Amino acid sequence: MKVVFDPAQKGHYPRHFLVNGVVEENPEVPERADRLFVAATGAGLEHLVPADRGLGPIAAVHTPEYITFLSTIHERWLRIKGGSDEVVPGIHPDRRNGAYPASAVAQAGYHMADGACPIAVGSWPAIRRSADTAVEAALMVRDGGAKSVYALSRPPGHHAFADMAGGFCYVNNSGVAAQVLRGVHDRVAILDVDVHHGNGTQSMFYGRADILTVSIHADPVRFYPFFWGHADERGEGAGLGYNYNLPLPRGTDDRAYMPALGDAFSRIRAFAPGALVVALGLDAFRDDPQGGFAITTEGFGRIGEAIGKLGLPTVLVQEGGYLCDGLGPNLGSFLTGFRSSHGS
């Protein structure tokens, strides 16, 4: 099994973000990638640097306006007299079906859902490489080069909508991977095990029946992303019944988590996908700074083992999981459990 990663992804390093009205140090730091990479190679995964896959796979799930915004906004933002060094929105539209603004300030508000997705000088090249990482992993699985691959995508992606960033996410790497897999498979499932609901992923495929989205996460009634991730969100139009949310109480531990995982598997099996994308958040850990769930390091091993037993061609795409002593061991535990049952 391989880990796909390019150290150039560490070039994305906004120093601050806005939370609860306070400017704090950004927890989505390059050191996350270092610890995860050490854990992946320590678990026996072989390192592969992704090729430059161009904008095509990104453009397959994101709008041209949004891609233009991401690729140009920082340079334009620096022209604002007295502006900050990093792009952070200060105004948001009350609707998204009106005229498209020309102002960099207005476009930031239009394309950024919150203050937790700042854009810095090296962000866009790193975001591109993070997407390339997911594409490379998906191509290997899609074309039969591997039964499973771990994409160490950083920055993460599951809060990114087709035309909007949010929650440390810019390009939806899991969505990109799923679309690549659709090049061969009629049906692809995405299973999101991050402690936060994958609202961008849900939105991206909400009207589609070819990609099933399933998310197990902390109940959003009092937890980010708040407005998405509730159990009654089932999809719309052709996609009705193809989105499945399993919100769980804060503090959910290993024992309470596994039945929900079983429910997720039942839905995935009924969908009969040809391949699986796992949006692999590790922030459900009991000591993660996000403080949502109480999953143990051993619990991640059991989760990985259970997912592996599905036996599907699988792309593991890194999502959340923040700096704490358990970050690397949690990934190592998951990968060991997954490989033990998946045979890869």
The confidence band for 133, taking pLDDT boundaries of 50, 70 and 90, is: very high
Mean pLDDT of the chain: 97
pLDDT tens per residue, range 204-252:
999 999 999 999 999 999 999 999 999 999 999 999 999 999 999 999 9
CATH topology of domain 2-52+121-342: Arginase; Chain A (3.40.800)
> Quick one: tokens of 330?
């949690």
Does pLDDT of 136 surpass 90?
A: yes
What does the H/E/C string look like for the chain? Answer: CEEECCHHHHHCCCCEEEECCEEEECCCCHHHHHHHHHHHHHCCCEEECCCCCCCHHHHCCCCHHHHHHHHHHHHHHCCCCCCCCCECCCCCCCCCCCCCCCCHHHHHHHHECCCCCCECCCHHHHHHHHHHHHHHHHHHHHCCCCCEEEECCCCCCCCCCCCCEECCECCCHHHHHHHHHCCCCCCEEEEECCCCCCHHHHHHHCCCCCEEEEEEEECHHHCCCCCCCCCCCCCCHHHCCCEEEEEECCCCEHHHHHHHHHHHHHHHHHHCCCEEEEEECCCCECCCCCCCCEECHHHHHHHHHHHHCCCCCEEEEECCCCCCCCHHHHHHHHHHHHHHHHCC
How far does Cα 106 stand from its chain's mean position?
A: 26
**Per-residue model confidence (pLDDT) at position 270:** 98
The confidence band for 326, taking pLDDT boundaries of 50, 70 and 90, is: very high
Other CB atoms within 10 A of residue 173 CB: 36
pLDDT tens per residue, range 30-87:
999 999 999 999 999 999 999 999 999 999 999 999 999 999 999 999 999 999 999 9
The confidence band for 320, taking pLDDT boundaries of 50, 70 and 90, is: very high
Q: What is the mean pLDDT of residues 20-33?
A: 95
Does pLDDT of 298 surpass 90?
A: yes
Does pLDDT of 344 surpass 90?
A: no
pLDDT tens per residue, range 150-190:
999 999 999 999 999 999 999 999 999 999 999 999 999 99
Greatest extent of the chain over all pairs of C-alpha atoms, in Å: 57
Over pLDDT 70: what percentage of the chain?
100
Residues that are catalytic: 159
**Per-residue model confidence (pLDDT) at position 290:** 87
Q: What is the mean pLDDT of residues 249-258?
A: 98
Q: What is the mean pLDDT of residues 278-294?
A: 96
Does pLDDT of 254 surpass 90?
A: yes
The confidence band for 137, taking pLDDT boundaries of 50, 70 and 90, is: very high
pTM of the model: 0.98
**Per-residue model confidence (pLDDT) at position 321:** 97
Q: Of the given ranges (92-96, 104-108, 292-296), which has the lowest mean pLDDT?
A: 92-96
Report how far residue 130's alpha carbon sits from residue 45's, in angstroms, rounded to the nearest whole number: 18
The confidence band for 331, taking pLDDT boundaries of 50, 70 and 90, is: very high
Does pLDDT of 291 surpass 90?
A: no
